[in-house]
Structure 1
């Protein structure tokens, strides 16, 4: 299938993020519309099974393969065949717009959500889903590949995610860096510890440190979820690996220090360290 990729964009406003993806498809709008709205077609390329009442205000349900329970629900917000199909999915909103483009169509997806650090997971997932949609429209076998991590990391760089922030509080400064990773917490912990398990009271293993950031002694560890160590003068570094989007852990790294703490320099050092970690994780299958 000939599918040209336009520039995918990410915008934020009022605490919400919108991912916009455009794809040209060599198929008329009516065919694309059918693949977007027919549950039997959706099952072949969409990330979940879908049940839908095709009417404005109609109910829509989502269930992932192997999932038990009621699944997630939403509401059809816009329905204008064969031009616009939009609906909520939990707290997210998805809009699929189809416009004629010569003998084909221009498909535009706008996914609006609240989890900015998850944007690369959403973008890489939709990239693969829309590729599968194209295969379905072409009449060939549909292959829903799973990203091994390279596509996700390309979107992290493209959107400038995980850059972190510095804030001032009474008595000092704090940096915070949140980054979606492509491997589960257990795997991330193995890479960070490199065979040297952290122990409270002992020096922090090298993998949990960054160049030019003072090292210290571990004060708290809950493998494979979190580690905190102190550094002089009067500061602390914390690693937290929680549940994230996709199939990987969500890393939140913080470092606090006194008023004279050069948080900007430390943040730059941690960016370099986390990028190194992300690259190492790509080599772990």
Structure 2
């Protein structure tokens, strides 16, 4: 019988930037690769930012990873967008051509004092051979920290 694992986690960060600036960094085809693809060998990173639009990423894992030369592909769709407030994105990940997970990711941006609060909720099902919830959460924590560097630039 096929094995699946389900998991949900939420990561929250506060940034000393306006909600509009944070939202732009998450949604912009020019800015998102600067925090989402840091340290990855991306051969494709395309964003069609609109409800129903597609987001696609293709990465080759480096020699310093457990699977050097292996292709990771993320293929997703924007399900809901409320400008400067919310993005809901569905995504499927493959590793070496094998589907390893499907996820629903919700970004919520809100004013917080003189800046903004970002809440990222990741709901996923992990299939056989997947990285699993702990590694995925760690990866997202690194991503939202990378976002801070892009916002501060």
TM-score (normalizing by structure 2): 0.72
Among 119, 124, 133, the alignment partner of 2:147 is 133
Q: For 2:35, which of 45, 51, 57 is the aligned residue?
A: 45
Q: Distance in 1 between matches of 2:135 and 2:72?
A: 24
d(CA) in 1 for partners of 2:45, 2:137: 20
| Residues 65/37 of structure 1: CA separation in 2 closer, same or farther (3 Å cut) | farther
Gaps of 5+ in 1: 1-14, 140-285
CA contact (8 A) 2:17 2:116 kept: yes
Moved over 4 A (4+): 65-70
Quick check: which has more Rg, 1 or 2?
Answer: 1
**Structure 1 length normalisation: TM-score?**
0.40
**Among candidates 22, 26, 47, match of residue 16 of structure 2:** 26
More helix, by proportion: 1
Q: Which residue of 1 aligns with 2:98?
A: none
Partner residue in 2 for 1:62: 57
> 1:71: how far off?
3.6
C-alpha spacing 1:112/1:31, structure 2 compared with 1 (3 Å): same
Contact 1:42/1:50, CA 8 A, preserved across alignment: no
More strand by share: 2
Mapping 1:207-218, distance limit 5 Å:
none
The alignment of Structure 1 onto Structure 2 pairs a total of residues equal to: 125
Unaligned 5+ residue runs, structure 2? 62-68, 93-101
CA root-mean-square deviation: 2.5
